[in-house]
Homo-oligomer: A and B are copies of this chain.
Amino acid sequence: MAFTFTILGSSSALPTSKRFTAAHVLNVHERFFLIDCGEGTQMQLRKYKIKLGKINHIFISHIHGDHVFGLFGLISSFNLLGRENDLHIFGPPDLEPIIHGYLKDFYINLFFEIIFHPVNCTRSVRIYEDDKIKVNTIPMKHRIPTCGFLFREQKKLPNLRKEMIEKFDIPISKRQGIKEGDSFTTETGNIVPNHELVIPAPEPKTFAYCSDTSYNEGILTQIRNVDLLYHEATYGCDLQELARETMHSTASEAARLARKASAKKLVIGHFSARYKDLTPLLAEAKTVFANTFVAEDGKTFKV
- A: residues with CB less than 8 A from B are 13-17, 20-21, 39-40, 42-43, 46-47, 63-66, 68-70, 72-73, 76-77, 80-81, 94, 98, 101, 105-108, 144
Contact = CB atoms under 8 A, between A and B. Distances in A.
A46 B16 contact: yes
A42 B15 contact: yes
A17 B47 contact: yes
Contact of A77 (B14, B63, B101, B108): B14
A43 B20 contact: yes
A42 B43 contact: no
B63 A105 contact: yes
A64 B15 contact: no
Q: How many copies of this chain does one complex carry?
A: 2
Contact of A107 (B39, B40, B66, B144): B144
Contacts of A17: 43, 46-47
Contacts of A47: 17
A106 B64 contact: yes
A255 B73 CA distance: 30
A276 to B, nearest CB: 13
A214 to B, nearest CB: 18
A40 to B, nearest CB: 4
Contacts of A63: 105-107
A69 B37 CA distance: 13
Given A14-B80, A39-B39, A65-B76, 5 more contacts: A13-B76, A15-B73, A16-B46, A64-B106, A65-B106
A80 B68 CA distance: 16
B105 A98 contact: yes
B106 A15 contact: no
B13 A80 contact: yes
Contacts of A81: 14
Given A46-B16, A101-B105, A72 B77 contact: no
Nearest to A95: B105
Contacts of A15: 42-43, 46, 73, 77
A10 B64 CA distance: 28
A197 to B, nearest CB: 50
Contacts of A101: 101, 105
A92 to B, nearest CB: 12
A39 B71 CA distance: 10
A197 B21 CA distance: 58
A47 B16 CA distance: 9
A21 to B, nearest CB: 8
Nearest to A68: B106
Nearest to A17: B46
